[in-house]
Amino acid sequence: MTNAEAILKVRSLLLARYPDYNRKSNNERVALAAGALRDDFKIREATGRNDGAWVTAILNGVQLGAGYKWCGALVKFVLDVAGVKTPGITAREFASVAEIRQWALAKGIVSRTPGRGYGAFRKSRGVSHVGISIGSLLGFTRSVEGNTSSGEAGSQDDGGGLYGRNRLTSFWDGFIDWNKL
């Protein structure tokens, strides 16, 4: 499966489920796309080595093949499904959490508080990771993340699949408001 085929597969599901999908805000389209990937496609690595049909298709979107960490590639994939344009950053730069963070800060689209559909990044305290915020409540942020583990055990930035996670909001260093693009 190619990256374009994977994007079309997810977008088709979303358009069938939400006829007004294309009229929703950037953040809402991102949240719905991330939720569909979590709930309907349940993406997992084939062998635990950043591989498998879906993971490879996602990595191809940032011009990488199987074997690379893919949390940033997943964010780019979700943005592509949602039709969110990201001027000033190349697809390849989405493979790096540092590049995503630097670009978002330069664009002035970073928030200290999470919102539905916001990007979430962590580039400190030993873990470099990105995901999509689905919502927050009482100091916790619900997120959809690629290349993580299903729980606290295992790698938080090089795990075996795409999972919904509940993390302390303080785990994240910042949040990206795609509506400001």
**Structure tokens given for 140:** 């916790």
Which of 127 and 87 is assigned the larger pLDDT?
87
User: Under a CB-based contact definition with an 8 Å cutoff, are residues 99 and 83 in contact?
Assistant: no
pTM of the model: 0.96
Question: Could you tell me which residues come within 8 angstroms of residue 25 by beta carbon, excluding any fewer than 6 positions away?
Answer: 117, 179
Residue 159: per-residue pLDDT: 84
Domain ranges of the chain: 3-180
pLDDT range class, residue 35, cuts 50, 70, 90: very high
Residue 126: predicted pLDDT? 62
User: Which three-class secondary structure state does DSSP give residue 94?
Assistant: helix
Work out the number of other CB atoms within 10 angstroms of the CB of residue 87: 7
Residue type (1 letter), 49: R
The per-residue pLDDT for 173 is 94
